[in-house]
Amino acid sequence: MAAMHNPPHPGETLREDVLPELGLTVSEAARQLGVSRVQLSRVLHRRAPVSPDLALRLEQWLNGPTADIWLRMQIAYDLWQARHGGKLPRVAPVQQKAA
């Protein structure tokens, strides 16, 4: 299996692609989404994940990418970080008992 590249945090996509395309500031986007500026800023700067609640808000707001897509992006990012972050201890596979 080929090594997967480091997937982007969904907040990066919002910060680098979505907000500039819409010509919106973080404050205005947060207002339209019904979240605090601090909450949105934390997601945009990879300090917080896209939650299911925010994913649903993004789905309605953008009328495009579904909540599932935003959450899949978050899961891909989280899994890559967990696999490559070197913080997980080695866990031995479960041993099947002989019959």
In a domain, 91, yes or no: no
At 12-69, the pLDDT tens digits run 999 999 999 999 999 999 999 999 999 999 999 999 999 999 999 999 999 989 999 9
At 55-72, the pLDDT tens digits run 999 999 999 899 999 999
The CATH code of the domain that includes 21 is 1.10.260.40
Rounded Cα distance, 99 and 91, in Å: 24
Closest C-alpha to 45, from 16, 24, 66, 71: 16
Closest C-alpha to 39, from 31, 95, 77: 31
Contacts 24+ apart (CB under 8 A), 25-34: 32/61, 33/57, 33/58, 33/61
Q: For the chain, what is the domain count?
A: 1
Q: Which residue range is the domain that position 69 belongs to? A: 10-84
Query: Quick check: 33 and 24 in contact, CB under 8 A?
Result: no
